[in-house]
A and B are shown apart, each in its own frame.
Chain A
Amino acid sequence: MSKVKTHKIIGLRSTLLAIVFFIFIILLSNQFDAYNQSQLTNIATLLIAVFSITLLTGASGQISLGQGAIMAVGGYSSALLVTRLGFSMWISFILAIFISALFGLFLGLAAARLSGPYLAGTTLVMALAIPSIAVRFEGFFSGDVGLSVDYGNPPDWLTNLLGEISIEVWSLYVVLPFTAIALFAVLNLSNTRTGRTWRAVRDNEVAAALAGINIGRTKVIVFVCASGLAGLAGALYGFRGLVAPSVYPTDLSLTLLTAAVIGGLRSIGGAIFGTFAIVFLPDLIEKITKNFAIPENIGTYLPALTIGLLLLITVILNPRGAAGALEHLRHRKRH
């Protein structure tokens, strides 16, 4: 099969899967009540950020504990463009991708020289430092108070077409197209030569270099792509109501990493599963525990404890996450 034809098939499959995902979420939202519709919006938003970890850590082997901070870069970029310069929300989302990617370029240039715990430490420091910048330059970033932004109301043409649209459904309509496009992009990147190059660097840098791959440049490119995605997620996340340091705390980065690990760091399907799990698990635990007389000082910590436990079990017993386990089951069935 020619190279062009292979690319066309991959493109077609990616498009098809993104469309299936889009329709599936829309159909799912129709079955959900308003709260779970808002949770779907959360999933659609955070999924883009988890994809950035799938690319960065899963595909290229670079550990980042600071994706939440890059989300903050995207969030502040779009909120400042809207509130200070009067840009449209949609344009601000697109520009947030480029601004975050540019940030990722600088970060990537430094990161290309680091690996393992050194890179993890550097990105963690970034996660801690970026919210402080917003406070340090309070006049520009509005400090702790942050910038109040939202998705607004659905346009008239849409309400004329579909009837009354709730705030929750409108939020999902704003976010979901971006998630579908992100899914398309990640699928394409992963399955083409680019993805193979990244995986080659991840698996053996020396062998990859001997095969003619520029290691440093590859790492920087991955950082740029992952940062663009995280920035977009941050912009969408902020427009739920507020862009402020407390919206992008350090534990947001860890939550994203947890989702990626539980689902399977190297799998896009795993990213989807992991994101569903971290968003819906606390609700599920609350529903189960509601029927038991659990003391308040234990009940409030249960969701975090359960997710932490799930993460530990995954890392110890099933490091490839849910996607890896699924793959393993399929192999056992075949043989």
Chain B
Amino acid sequence: MSPQTPFPRDIPLPLPAPEPLLIVLLVIAFLAHLLFVNLMLGGSLLTVFYEWRGLRKPAYDELAHEIAKTVTVNKSLAVVLGVAPLLLINVLYTIYFYTANSLTGLAWIMLIPTITLAFVLTYLHKYSWEAMRHHKRLHLGIGICASGLFLLIPFVFLANATLMLFPDRWFSIQGFLSALSVPSVLPRYFHFLLASLGVSGLALVGYFRREQYDFEAHLPGLNRQEILKQGYTLTLGASCLQFLAGPLVMVTLPSHGFSAAMLGSIGLGILAALPALWLIWKELQSPLPGKRFIQIGGLLSLTVLLMVSGRHLYRETALASHKHQMQIRTASYERQVQTAAAEAKAAEAAEASLPLPELGAKTFQQNCAGCHAAQTKLVGPPMTEMVKIYGSKPADFKAWVQSPGKKRPDYPQMPAFPQLSEKQLEGLAVYVLNSKH
């Protein structure tokens, strides 16, 4: 940790459940969210790609339309499944997460209108498919805009996720753009983008290999085997590129988060991916691809689970020491809070036993002096006027303080003081009404 590293105090309320349970929930919920984010982004890119190919070979236009219909469903699921990981991150990494949000604040809040706009464009793209059949390039333009926004959004999330890991870099951050320059952000972005493409390629195979899907009726002019191979090719290509992106992420991450468990988890993930890639290769050679889909999907799911776990283990190790320091400081501060609160309570008790005029003077200083002075008008009238009105009627005076009305048109109305005790009111009446100023 650098000397500039802040060690803020945590919120002194207990976690709502044992930490390991929350962590397991986080990993699972995050995985589900990520799956649909990948499908949404990859699906959007595939839609645009096939619609573009459809300009030359119209049969692809219908394929693009079919994929577009899945994107709007996946985007709804991506959002709703994102809420649970958000909640879990909030509760498990309160200090780290909110600090990262704040340091990238404008970009963070701009996510809301940006994602909304991306969704509106995605609906527009899908629902205007028939109506804009004769304005194909404009229609494709809408799709490209939506995809472009989908491509920008992950930068903000990744900047936040990365900042969370490095309290020792917080002092160097001035806004979202400078957060992008934290070394591992860009490699993580490419890692994520390739994952989206890989998942979407596989989803393409899964969607069109189904027996009950009447391929020829839906997509005349296209060949099922060829489309399946295109999906597999995308997954294979993207996964092979991960062998570049993955190490790039590893070398840009600071070393203090590495652990044997984390490396083991990542290593097992790679091991699970290798047979999957080999099976994809076999599928590409086969005249009837699609039979090995379940095995491939299973192996790659295992890879993703291990990778996400590895990512979590890195975060735990990277933050362990900082978290510990934070807990010690939180405990120490809370003890000081308790001691001071006890002292204040004792002082209050002592104050209650003061003689009435002194108690009244003190109460006046603490509650009234902001607006009332002895002889001059501040916000409200001076004490001399109070003596004139209430000099012989202390009960009326106390009633007024507890719940004042509006008497003078040229003065603002006085607020009520229900918090004053009977003793304080008594003292106040003695002090104010006996004042000879």
**Binding partners A and B:** no
**Chain A interface residues (CB < 8 Å from chain B):** none
